[in-house]
Amino acid sequence: MDGVMIKQIYRNPDSFLQQPVKVSGWVRTVRVSKAFGFIELNDGSFFKNLQIVFDQTLENFAEIAKLSVSTALTVEGELVESPGAKQPFELKAHRIVIEGLSTPEYPLQKKRHSLEFLRTIAHLRPRSNTFSAVFRVRSLAANAIHRFFQERDFVYVHTPIITGSDCEGAGEMFRVTTLDFNNLPLDQAGNIDYSQDFFGKEANLTVSGQLEAETFCLAFRNVYTFGPTFRAENSNTPRHAAEFWMVEPEIAFADLEDDMVLAEEMLKYILSYCLENAPEEMEFFNRFIDQGLIKRLEHIINSDFVRLSYTEAIGLLQNSGQTFTYPVKWGVDLQTEHERFLTEQVFKKPVFVTDYPKDIKAFYMRVNDDQRTVAAMDLLVPGVGEIIGGSQREERLEVLEQRLRDFGLDYDDYWWYLDLRKYGGVKHAGFGLGFERLIMYLTGVNNIRDVIPFPRTVKSAEF
RNA sequence: UCCUCGAUAGCUCAAUGGUAGAGCACCCGGCUGUUAACCGGGCGGUUGUUGGUUCGAGUCCAACUCGGGGAGCCA
């Protein structure tokens, strides 16, 4: 008899009822009385367990009755309707084979654990309800991202993870080197001689694929990257990790408005896709992690995101009557408290803040006609904060060169980036989506360490 | 990096400066439809580390380590 996946049974029970069925999985709990017992079996294919009923007619009844949690089993029996209220059907066991024993010391108990404790057993936590749900949704969300872009004929670009340009400018970088730290080669000036390093120059892990993605954008028109990103920043918050994944679309013949339309459609697509394809997981989050989650996500799918210029946002905050720890002033970047106030109190939905002062944004963002602001946008969402940062890119060569000078950057480091503006440069735009922040938003989990299988954060790279 | 709170049994938490406890887990027994099963009994501790104050420290003080929350940096 071929084994079936528990998901198949749940999705199509009628074709299995009154039929012989074989399943394999891990014990979540055993409840036993004198002559019979129940096992909750989870086979990983589905969020929910299959209830196994077994009794003394099994030759190994006594052994089965004493099994520890997480023992691996294969069960053959007949699928029958269940008299119990909590499950529509159950498997009446005819034969139970132990595939792999567990022990009483198994750390995951049949009770609610704190997320902090589960983080210390990251190798076992995928077996818990919460992480079973989180990582299945993470997988679905990744698939939704590819589907969204592929359906629109975007080309998926694999930008480099090791980068030779130290000019990405998005944050502190991790050095990649094969030099012997105990015997560093020095040049005549006494500085480290990177010409003897593996790449013959300084190399780092990427902090963004954007600049490279732009090169493909100006060849394939619409492209996206989706891959790991590294930031060596000493950030100790529930929203930052040293290694995280980012989605970075880049679209040609497009301006900031096109960029925002794309971001909004993409987010709505991913939310809809996960609600549709992981209803059990989403229901679990809604009950145990974040009450009201589903209602909020559905509200977002059905509402238009707010578009608010930075200048309007400043005025709105100044006239709000609210007292803030940090003063609100044109020219100064919005603080977290301001962003939260806008998205959580004023609008209660995602808000694009656009057209920031040029002095507080990156050099590559397109200068607006007012000469004071750039065509940038941040998408703020309730509970998570900034989830997307994007802009229209400066396509005018002479303006871009001036911006490099203003920022004290060296042309030579950007020669290929400047080339894009010489040979058929066109208006184009893009954004970066923090994938983990999306998962946090989607699941209601409020610490980034709990949406990454093995999180890397300051002073922490266990497993 | 800064501010703040915390660390006691495997887990979640109690304990006026004066004999370290409970629930769950685990072990033993009971129970013919359970649902984080239930009922009875049992096992379980260098109170994060180091030093200090005190007749006496889980409790007070200092430093450190780790964790939570907030801020900055950002996605």
Query: Could you read off the pLDDT of A364-422 as tens digits, one per residue?
Result: 999 999 999 999 999 998 877 889 999 999 999 999 999 999 988 888 889 999 999 99
Asked if the Cβ of residue A107 lies within 7 A of any atom of strand B, the reply is yes
- Closest by CA to A76, choosing from A93, A51, A54, is A93
A290 is written with which tokens? 């974040």
At A217, give phi and psi (nearest 5°): -60, -40
**Those residues with Cβ within 8 angstroms of residue A32's Cβ, 6 or more apart along the chain or in another chain:** A38, A65
- Is the pLDDT at A165 greater than 80? The verdict is no
**Those residues with Cβ within 8 angstroms of residue A235's Cβ, 6 or more apart along the chain or in another chain:** A458
Residues A319-352 pLDDT 10s = 988 888 888 999 999 999 999 999 989 998 899 9
Q: Which residues 280 to 319 of A reach strand B, CB within 7 A?
A: none
- Is the pLDDT at A39 greater than 70? The verdict is yes
Residues A166-178 pLDDT 10s = 655 667 899 999 9
Asked if the Cβ of residue A124 lies within 7 A of any atom of strand B, the reply is no
Asked if the Cβ of residue A449 lies within 7 A of any atom of strand B, the reply is yes
User: A229 - beta bridge partners?
Assistant: A244
On whether the CB atoms of residues A199 and A259 are closer than 8 A, the answer is no
Q: What is the distance in angstroms measured between the alpha-carbon CA of A341 and the sugar C1' of B13?
A: 35
Q: Which residues 223 to 262 of A reach strand B, CB within 7 A?
A: 231, 233-242, 244, 246
pLDDT value at residue A186: 93
pLDDT value at residue A378: 95
User: A91 - beta bridge partners?
Assistant: A52, A79
Asked if the Cβ of residue A103 lies within 7 A of any atom of strand B, the reply is no
pLDDT value at residue A164: 83
Asked if the Cβ of residue A69 lies within 7 A of any atom of strand B, the reply is yes
Q: Which residues 165 to 224 of A reach strand B, CB within 7 A?
A: 170-171, 208
The ipTM estimated for the assembled molecules is 0.91
Nucleotide nearest to A169 (CA to C1'): B74
Asked if the Cβ of residue A76 lies within 7 A of any atom of strand B, the reply is no
Nucleotide nearest to A334 (CA to C1'): B72
Q: What is the distance in angstroms measured between the alpha-carbon CA of A206 and the sugar C1' of B4?
A: 34
pLDDT value at residue A323: 86
Residues A272-293 pLDDT 10s = 999 999 999 999 999 999 988 9
Place A316 in a pLDDT band, splitting at 50, 70 and 90.
very high
- Is the pLDDT at A20 greater than 80? The verdict is yes
Considering chain A, what percentage of its residues have pLDDT values greater than 70?
99
Compute the mean pLDDT over every residue in chain A, rounded to the nearest whole number: 93
- Is the pLDDT at A199 greater than 70? The verdict is yes
Q: What is the distance in angstroms measured between the alpha-carbon CA of A459 and the sugar C1' of B50?
A: 22
Asked if the Cβ of residue A329 lies within 7 A of any atom of strand B, the reply is no
d(Cα A223, Cα A235) in Å, to the nearest integer? 30
Q: Which residues 143 to 162 of A reach strand B, CB within 7 A?
A: none
Asked if the Cβ of residue A34 lies within 7 A of any atom of strand B, the reply is yes
Residues A236-269 pLDDT 10s = 999 999 999 999 999 999 999 999 999 999 999 9
| A372, HSE (Cβ side, Cα atoms, 13 Å) | 7
pLDDT value at residue A167: 59
Residues A255-264 pLDDT 10s = 999 999 999 9
